[in-house]
Amino acid sequence: MISAEVLAYEKELEENQRTVRQMVLISLEDVRAGKGRDFAEVFDELEKRYQSL
């Protein structure tokens, strides 16, 4: 039973890794296409949001 749980966990982990890799590749394609936002702008917005708490 334990080995079945380990195998199921390993399979799920591999699927998650595939998903993350796919998301990274999509993001890289977006960057190459000029899509996205400036990180400084994003961090400024986050800073403003959480400084007021």
**Domain boundaries along the sequence of the chain:** 2-51
The continuous run of DSSP H or E covering 19 comes out as helix 2-32
pLDDT at 16: 95
Q: What is the pLDDT of residue 45?
A: 87
pLDDT at residue 6, rounded to an integer? 92
Residue 1 binned pLDDT confidence (cut-offs 50, 70, 90): low
pTM attached to this predicted model: 0.60
The tens digit of pLDDT for each residue in 23-46 reads 999 988 988 888 877 778 888 888
The residue with tokens 């007021």 is: 52
Residue 27 in tokens: 């993001």
